[in-house]
Amino acid sequence: MPTVKNSLTVLAFLSFVNADAIYTKKSPVLQVDSKSYDSLIAGSNHTSIVEFYAPWCGHCQNLKPTYEEAAKSLAGLAKVAAVNCDEDSNKLLCSQMGVQGFPTLKIIKPGSKPGRPIVEDYQGPRNVKGIVGAVVDKIPNHVKRLQEKDLDGWLSTSNETTKAILFTEKGTTSAILRAIAIDFLGKINIAQIRNKETAAVEMFGISTFPTLVLLPGGAKDSLVYDGEMKKEPIVTFLSQIVPPNPDPAPESTKASSSRRPKATRPSSSSSSAFSEASASHKSAEASEAAASGSTIVLEDFDASESPMPIVPPSETPITVPDSTPPLRSLVTLADLILSCLDPKIGTCVMALLPSQVDADATPPEPVAQALKSLALIAEKHVKRKAKLFPFYAVPAENEATEKLRDKLGLKPVTELEIIAMNTKRGWWRRYSGENTDVVSMESFIDAIKLGDGKKESLDEGVILQPAEKEADHDEL
């Protein structure tokens, strides 16, 4: 039976959780509300990740340090924002965005039409690497990748327009350069040329890489940037010719609330229902906290109703099944030969797995992350219907792995190794990075696609012919 003491505790708790948002003004996380969402997020040229939270939510409190660290890592590259759905003025916005549990994370990137962004639920790992990697992957690329044959045409088109060229050894476009191109979108055309394009390199007298050259337009002399390859000083350098785009946009070009898709605009009853549900969770948890003196315990949700179901900390969260197909495993020597070691086979990527004491044991974090990252990259290309060489997992139990490691001079069978191989052309390449997150692995894959990086020659002993099928010797 409720007591006066418990009731007072509940009221005090409710007063406390309503008093402040999770993120302070000094936080690196951008605080957004229903009035500023359209201009800061929906109308921005930059990609954003937005957390929809409630101050009384224990999971939201636990996510705070991770989310703030991700905000620091993404500073200048993308926006990391948060909306307090417990504020009455924000409840309609949270309802419109389909928020059904806390915290809900959504990645919002510019669409083909201004003010009509693409909104995706973030359902990756709730850690800094996962969040940063997913957001970086969604940063639009407005950087033109040039080859020698394209350079003259690109330079002569709109000759009076300011242009900038980055001469680099890399074939991929960095997140920093993509973010800079967004800052100057429509004002400076930015391109990237590899050091292999020797005629272009000689034309501009480039001797070190990376080097950024600014072409003011017309007959004006080019300017060479000699500072650090960091966003802020580069933006300052480019701004001497033309200022970057303001963000948020000026008042006259700000988006209205119509930027949110009309199909998702609920009636006022939807906002009321959202408010009642939020209040119900908060009140129930406050009562339980008052009775037990423990942390806030939240009502359970069906996992299908929310990107991040709210569950009691003492219980096991409902897991949303992972639909990403795992890598195909090459268990036998025949599998390995037919998939990667046959002389007629093109490029393939193999994750040589370390031996496990228990075959059914969960692999170590770096191994599990590597397999997940490669599977996600493969799935992304399948969805885009883009051609990509295959990825395989090769368990240590495969009789050929020890010999393969020995021939290539790799680590012993107790360690993870990731290699790319093309027996048809006689080369192989080893992944030497420390991280196995999606961003790191995709950079490795992109480098292979573009022919970047040093390749090692394959010894003849590594390339194997598939065994011929023996004749049937059964007696009649």
- Please state whether the peptide bond connecting residue 248 to the residue before it is cis, i.e. omega within 30 degrees of 0: yes
Side chain identity at residue 163, one-letter code = K
| Average pLDDT of the chain, as a whole number | 80
Residue 215: name the closest of 228, 194, 230, 200 by CA.
200
Predicted confidence at residue 108, as pLDDT, reads 96
Rounded Cα distance between 55 and 262, Å, is 29
Q: Which two tokens stand for residue 53?
A: 């939270």
pTM of this prediction exceeds 0.75 = no
Third-level CATH fold of 328-462: Glutaredoxin (3.40.30)
Dist. CA 216–CA 222, nearest whole Å: 7
3-state helix, strand, coil in the chain (%, to 5): 40, 15, 45
Q: Is there a shared CATH topology between the 4-137+267-272 domain and the 144-238 domain?
A: yes
Closest CA to 109 of 127, 134, 83: 134
| d(C-alpha 101, C-alpha 431), whole Å | 39
User: What is the distance between the alpha carbons of residues 219 and 441, in angstroms, rounded to a whole number?
Assistant: 43
Angle at 68 between CA 66 and CA 73, to 5 degrees: 95
Q: Which residues contact 82 (CB under 8 A, 6 or more apart)?
A: 21, 22, 23, 29, 30, 31, 32, 50, 51, 52, 53, 67
Question: Cβ distance 123 to 321 under 8 Å?
Answer: no
CB count, 10 Å around CB of 65? 10
Predicted local confidence at residue 319, as pLDDT: 41
Give CA–CA dist 470/217, Å, rounded. Answer: 72
Minimal CA–CA distance to 348: which of 416, 453, 403, 427?
Answer: 427
| 214: DSSP letter | E
- Could you give the CA distance from residue 295 to residue 297 in angstroms, rounded to a whole number? 6
Q: What is the pLDDT of residue 277?
A: 56
pLDDT per position as a tens digit, 450-467: 787 788 998 876 766 555
8 Å CB contact between 227 and 237: yes
Helix (H) or strand (E) holding 60, with range, is: helix 58-73
CA–CA gap between residue 314 and residue 58 (Å, rounded): 12
pLDDT of residue 249: 64
Question: For 262-274, what is each residue's pLDDT tens digit?
Answer: 434 444 445 555 5
pLDDT digits (tens, 9 = 90+) for 361-413: 677 888 989 999 999 999 888 887 888 999 999 998 888 888 899 999 999 99
Q: CATH classification of 144-238, choosing from 3.40.228.10, 3.40.50.720, 3.40.30.10, 3.90.950.20?
A: 3.40.30.10
pLDDT of residue 281: 53
φ, ψ of residue 54 in degrees (nearest 5): -130, 140
Q: How far lies 248's CA from each of 37, 81, 188, in Å?
A: 10, 14, 19
Which parts of the chain sit beneath pLDDT 50?
A: 1-19, 252-259, 261-269, 284-321, 357-359, 468-476
* pLDDT value of position 437: 86
335 burial via Cβ count (<10 Å: 0-12, 13-18, 19+): middle
Please, what CATH class does the domain formed by 4-137+267-272 belong to?
alpha beta
Query: Edge to edge, what strands does the sheet with 48-53 contain?
Result: 30-31, 79-84, 48-53, 104-109, 118-121
Domain coordinates in residue numbering, the chain: 4-137+267-272, 144-238, 328-462
- Residue indicated by tokens 């549990």: 101
